[in-house]
Amino acid sequence: MLKAYKYRLYPTKEQQEMLFKHFGACRFIYNWGLEQKIKTYEQDGKSVSRFDLNKGITMLKRDGEHEWLKEVNSQSLQGATLNLDNAFTRFFREKKGFPKFKSRKNPVQAYNVPQNYKVDFENNMIYLPKIGNVKTILHRSLGNGDLKTATVSQTSTGKFYISILVDDGGENLKKMEFSENDTVGVDVGIKDFAIMSNGDKIDNPRHLKNSMKRLKVLSKRLSRKQKDSSNRNKARKQVAKLHEKISNQRHDFQHKVSAKLVSENQAIAIETLNVSGMLKNHHLAQRIADASWSSFVEKLEYKAEWYGKTILRIGQFEPSTKICNVCGKYNGSLTLADRKWECLDCNTTHDRDINAAINIKTFALQEQNLIGI
């Protein structure tokens, strides 16, 4: 099983300069490789392989104009061509969008270290090729697995991190058996972040909304600064720090909720949502983005894999909200404003979200409605 461990780096000024050289060189190779692929396809109708691009990197180092590429780790340069290859794979297989050229103005930069790095827990150091031993906060063990690719990154606030991929050699845990009693249906929402089929509700903390007043002040200050000035860069960092705080709050909240759900249930039933389509509703887009449902579902899925739990999905067109969970009556007149409604057949009064969560669980436990199980 593959797991990633992320640690904060504290490089010296000299080491920061070398990190910036690696960021720039890998970005240059990525853009150069993308240009080569586009030109070759336009001229010959053929695709350039990653291995041909790697041979081209050697030729670039030999000409006088690009000798500076010798100053950085050669395997990291080849990692840039691998990233480009993966981007084209996602484009053709998953229709994720054609690869774009990377900008040096992007405050978020990263490069890969495929091998030859070393982790020293005794001295809180990580050795990086061409850079040396970098002070690191190694706050948790990597275990006894094999170290795979490491990724060094810089955030928009100027912090440096390293993410290490580890293969522990073990297989995914066998899925535990589940029944109706140990399965919970979860309906995500805006007013309440998550509503369970057992009637429990988890409030939506609305991290972005709570910081919006301060964010508007900082954004206005940024807009008034002269472009490319040092004061504008300082103002940009202030905005970036607040966005980073909001993001950290959101991820912390979602990790706690997802861990609680996975630990307390053998199976979790969720609804497949077209989030990108829902974001086109300009009245609710900001609240939907603040809730970040896709990120929450992703955390549920990989934690369920870790602990042998099951995620059940139902189709996005299942009418979970409009069907009475008692008698099955369909209420076609229900609108988004109706938070409670009464069934005309059995006279049961429903809480809109709890009824939806119960129906999600019911639909998921019906074999014909399961997706990807």
Domain positions in the chain are 2-167, 183-206+258-369
Pairing of strands 132-137, 267-271: unpaired
- 37-41: long-range contacts (C-beta < 8 A, 24 or more apart)? 37/84, 37/88
Report which of 361, 340, 335 is spatially closest to residue 350, judged by C-alpha positions.
Answer: 340
Rounded (5°) CA angle 109-112-113: 135
Q: Is residue 338 flagged as an active site residue?
A: no
- Which of the residues 187, 200, 203, 301 is marked catalytic? 187
Q: Is residue 228 flagged as an active site residue?
A: no
**DSSP letter assigned to residue 330:** B
Q: 79-92 burial string, b = 16+ CB within 10 Å, else e?
A: bbbbbbbebbeeee
Q: Is residue 187 flagged as an active site residue?
A: yes
Q: Give residue 238's pLDDT.
A: 95
Reading the chain (373 residues) residue by residue, the pLDDT tens digits are: 888 999 999 999 999 999 999 999 999 999 999 999 999 999 988 888 999 999 999 999 988 789 999 999 999 999 999 999 999 999 998 877 899 999 998 889 999 999 999 999 999 999 999 999 999 999 999 888 899 999 999 999 999 999 999 988 777 678 888 888 899 999 999 999 999 999 999 999 999 999 999 999 999 999 999 998 999 999 999 999 999 999 999 999 999 999 999 999 999 999 988 888 888 888 889 999 999 999 999 999 999 998 999 999 998 888 888 889 888 888 888 888 888 888 888 888 888 899 999 999 999 988 544 554 4
User: How far, in Å, CA of 373 to CA of 351, rounded?
Assistant: 29
- Which of the residues 65, 271, 351, 367 is marked catalytic? 271
Q: Give residue 183's pLDDT.
A: 93
